[in-house]
């Protein structure tokens, strides 16, 4: 990314509406994240049926001085069919300049802030016009409403195409031992070539690493447990260390209200897996040794 510093572990807010917390409880969670050095908070306009940004903003309003200690990330471009957006006729994508600018304005109001540190297009839109997106981003940056711009879930060619029109800071992708495609389809190669750090959503496969009964989950779980016992940490810490071992230096997004989940991820920052342990996890997910 740019000179703006994002924390190596990111706090994911997408489930905040399901936590059923008071504003004071949400603020306490934010403070606990910040106290641990987790300063980057990941949002999207659609989270919680278009409610999570406002829940976070309501908590932040109780201690507005904390804004200077954090980086706020949000995503837009998906239009959900939802009662909170009655004008939408069906689920679709919109990456027009008008939509991007309106989405940022909505996010700023909800989050009770004057800027987003990073704005992402949530998913690639087959109708996206790179020149139009570039113009909208330039206007938003000139107005100080966004500091950085990137994408999420983009393929290598989609990223390269848009990056020709507007500098992209990151690609937020799914990556974990049960979903290894970015390691081999060029996604992480591209991040390395451009000296960019990806962000990773669902680093624990939505919990399937520890609850799934599919053969790949069972194999990976056994390997994670073995490595964890040798290092004296939890299997979740090893799963995060597996991600952090990649030279592109991914930033995992931990979408949990449990502070212990953040602590497990943070512990991985002080642990470097050796190459054999890393490949043992990869092989367990693949169900075969490396070629």
Query: pLDDT, tens digit, for every residue of 238-280?
Result: 999 999 999 999 999 999 999 999 999 999 999 999 999 999 9
pLDDT in tens, 25-57: 999 999 999 999 999 999 999 999 999 999 999
Q: Which residue range(s) make up the domain with 80?
A: 1-169
Quick one: how many helices (H) and strands (E) in the chain? 12, 10
Task: Please answer whether residues 168 and 151 qualify as being in contact, where contact means their C-beta atoms are separated by less than 8 angstroms.
Answer: yes
Statement: the pTM of the whole predicted model exceeds 0.75 = yes
Residue 54 placed within a domain: yes
Residue 191 placed within a domain: no
Residue 231 placed within a domain: no
Out of 47, 154, 159, 201, pick the active-site residue: 47
Residue 97 placed within a domain: yes
Residue 280 placed within a domain: no
Active site residue 47: yes
Residue 235 placed within a domain: no
In degrees, rounded to 5, the angle at the alpha carbon of residue 17 between the alpha carbons of residues 16 and 19 is 65
What total number of domains does the chain contain? 1
Q: What is the dihedral of CA 258, 149, 251, 181, to 10 degrees?
A: 110
Residue 99 placed within a domain: yes
The tokens 């994240």 sit on which residue? 33
Task: Please answer whether residues 264 and 234 qualify as being in contact, where contact means their C-beta atoms are separated by less than 8 angstroms.
Answer: yes
Residue 75 placed within a domain: yes
Domain with 88 in it: what CATH number?
3.20.20.100
């Amino acid at each position: 990314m740019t000179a703006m510093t994002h924390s190596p572990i990111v706090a994911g807010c997408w489930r905040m509406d399901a936590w059923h917390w008071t504003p004071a409880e949400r603020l306490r969670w934010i403070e606990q994240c910040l106290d641990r050095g987790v300063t980057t908070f990941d949002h999207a306009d659609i989270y919680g049926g278009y409610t999570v940004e406002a829940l976070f903003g309501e908590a932040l309003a109780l201690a507005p001085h904390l804004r200077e200690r954090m980086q706020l990330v949000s995503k837009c471009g998906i239009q959900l069919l939802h009662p909170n957006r009655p004008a939408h006729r069906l689920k679709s994508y919109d990456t027009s300049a008008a939509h991007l600018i309106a989405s940022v304005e909505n996010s700023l109001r909800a989050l009770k802030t004057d800027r987003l540190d990073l704005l992402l297009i949530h998913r690639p839109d087959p109708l996206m016009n790179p020149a139009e997106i570039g113009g909208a981003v330039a206007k938003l940056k000139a107005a100080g409403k966004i500091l950085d711009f990137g994408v999420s879930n983009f393929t290598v060619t989609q990223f390269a195409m848009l990056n020709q029109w507007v500098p992209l800071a990151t690609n937020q992708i799914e990556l974990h031992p049960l979903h290894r495609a970015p390691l081999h389809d060029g996604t992480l190669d591209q991040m390395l070539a451009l000296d960019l750090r990806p962000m990773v959503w669902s680093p624990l496969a939505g919990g399937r690493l520890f609850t799934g009964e599919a053969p790949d989950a069972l194999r990976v779980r056994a390997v994670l447990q073995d490595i964890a016992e040798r290092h004296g940490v939890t299997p979740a810490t090893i799963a995060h260390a597996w991600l952090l071992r990649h030279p592109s230096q991914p930033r995992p997004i931990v979408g949990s209200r449990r502070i212990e989940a953040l602590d497990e991820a943070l512990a991985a920052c002080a642990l470097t897996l050796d190459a054999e342990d890393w490949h043992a996890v990869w092989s367990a997910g693949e169900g075969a040794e490396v070629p």
